[in-house]
Structure 1
Amino acid sequence: MTDSDARQQLLSALYKRGIDLGPDDVNWAFESQKTGAELTAWIQEYLDASTFLTRDELDLYEAIRGQGSLDLQPSDTVPLQEFDIMDAIDSLKASTAAIEKHSKTLEAQRGALLAFKAEGSQRQEISFFQKYGQESGRLLFAVSARLQHQTNAALNSTQVDDLLHQTKHHLTEAEKDSTRATAIMKAVVSERLAADDQVFEALEKLTPKMSETKPLAVESTTIDKWTRALASLRVLEAKAHLDANLKGFGDCGGQTSDAGTPALKTDLEGLQSELQTLRDEIESVVQMVIGNEIRDPLLKNVQSLEGHSRQTRNGWSSYLLSTLHHLVSQLESLNSGITSLQSYNTTLHSLTTLLQEDSSESPNTAQTKGGQSLGIGSNTSSNKLRPAAEIPGPATYAAQALRRFCPSLTQSTNTNLINRLDATTAEATSRLRGQHVTAVNATLESLSKSLGEKQREFMRVTDQLFVNSRGSSVHLGERHLEERLGRLNRGVEEVAPLVARADVR
């Protein structure tokens, strides 16, 4: 800094702070070379921007000097320091990163919601069939209740035929609805199985790519060989350079050894021994340097690549497992819908068969009654038909039917027929239960065959997927839960025949 610059800086500082000193008061200090140099050094040291008070600091200083003491009351305004600003910037960066991460998570959730929405339509179809099965069951119960009520109310009248006609009509409509539901269920099952086949084909194509492990371009053993070779080269180079220096030093020492003193010779020998010690330590030092600077970073990069490849394979494995679990849950839902629909169809078929048997017996009874009426009319044309006398005692369903269609039978004959009808009803009920159990077993067997093929495909995919895993096997749930479910299934299979033979009337 020149004297003129120092003078100008001093005058500016005096003017800004209102000190009543002008150029005349300052110039005399710069007239002498010694005082000018000292004043320039003082200005450069104490009037620098880093040592100057700011305007706010100056005002605070003047206020404190005017009051003579500091204000003990703390100020509400906290001054912002540089580290506060840096912390605020770091917080903003962290919050921005968190917001970006959250936005990515929301995008992933949005994709998952769209996928669930697409699957929701299929689940609605399945729920429609379940609801349809429930409504059909209610309709069947209502039809049965109405049939019993109207039968009890109209056994002694001609409304039995109308009731049978209405019942047949309701059963026909129910069979049509059941047929439509069965066709729709078959279409849904076919479509679901076709989609599952496509998914399995895609998984089979993807699994070999996921199971194969790409060899690394450079292995750790190769890196060790390279570093050992490089260390050997560096050791040889350093030793050769040191030997050359020692040789030159030895030549110089040999020339001066004749004229030197014994003390000088002793020092030279000590130096040579120290150099030889350094020469022996070159190899360990070079290996340590190469290990820290070259070998360790390369090994860390190789390990990071292996860890990234392992994480990628684990992520794809989790995705495949979740996909397969979802497919199994869909098949279980379809299985439950098919089972309920099959039981409903079996019940409808049994009711239709019973009504057909009753309708086939009714015309024979009507013909017999008509023949008796014709015979009576030919013998006594003047007499009119009278209603048959009622059977004394509590009238059951079978007794009322016999009284309606066979009025000429005696009380003992009615009792025998009622017993036979009870036996026939029990036999028909047992046959109905047997048919129900057979239909359920056939449905379960067909489903088990279909699901068995899917299970074998699933096991092939998982075997290829987990061929390199620790256990070489996979479980969709915990092992003890699967064992409990297996025991529960075996218990259900043992109890099912007993439930089928139980009397539920």
Structure 2
Amino acid sequence: MANILFDDLTKILRDRDIPFDRDAIRSALNDPESQTAIREWMEEYLGPDTLLTKDEAALYATLSKSGEAERLAAQDLSSIQGLNDTEIQDAIEELKRSTAAIEKQSEALKSQQNAMSALVKNEKRTRQSRTQTSNSQLKKWNAQKGHVSKAIEELSQSLAYQSADLEQQRKASEASVKQTVDDILRSDDKLLASLQKLASDLDPIQSDDDKAISRIKDLCARLIKHTVEGIRTKLDRIYLHALQNSARSEEPDSQETTDLQEELESLYSEILPVAQMSAEQQFLQPALKAIAAADGQGQERAAIAVEYVCRPSNISTQS
């Protein structure tokens, strides 16, 4: 009970900016007799009928500070005519209308404030979402750029190793190819020199002719194989050089690299037919024609041999 009285009393004093001693009030409320007297005094003088509201207390303080309260207290208020019921009612109605207008205006302002707050929140969310999207896209682009750079570096290293291996193979096989070509040319010279003699003895089942044709096919296939490997090695070196230049550039063009690779693959498919045609025209066909010309009976067998040797599948298998 004492705590309730203490809280009520101190709240009234504090709301009206009246200084008070908390300890003195609490000490007085701890005494049962004083507590009863204080409670009765509060009920009599601090009730709604006798206690000024906060606004009334503030108005009185203002009037007292300006001296207006003393002037009004000194006036004779008996000469002031009071308001009749109609005037009071009209004043009340006018006050109600004013209050309603103020409330309506307050609601409109509140709605505007809510709309503005919602707009600000939406704008803030939109800006945050846009910022997050931009940051996410930037991180994604950086990650993709790192992956592409790493892939290009790995591919460049791999091609460098392959190019080095192919270069070693080319150097190792260059001497062998030259020797093979020389052997083929010498063999062709000997073969052409003995074609006339062999033509007279040409027989479909003659083993010497079969060995010669087999030897010719084998030599042509080996020549085609080494020619194809040499051309492919040069193309690989060109592709590796172009890829390294693209990787060193600030903005690697992946489309250009892809187009170059597709063009190389297209060239790869054309190397074998061209090399085959060249070998046939320079060595195989002249040799077989010479054999066929030596004896009319060997023409059919030579034609069959030419057709067999000219098949791409046969050359591919030998290479």
Pair in the same fold by TM > 0.5: no
What TM-score do the two structures reach when normalised by structure 2?
0.35
Relative to total residues, which structure has the larger helix share, 1 or 2?
2
What TM-score do the two structures reach when normalised by structure 1?
0.24
Which has the higher Rg, Structure 1 or Structure 2? Answer: 2
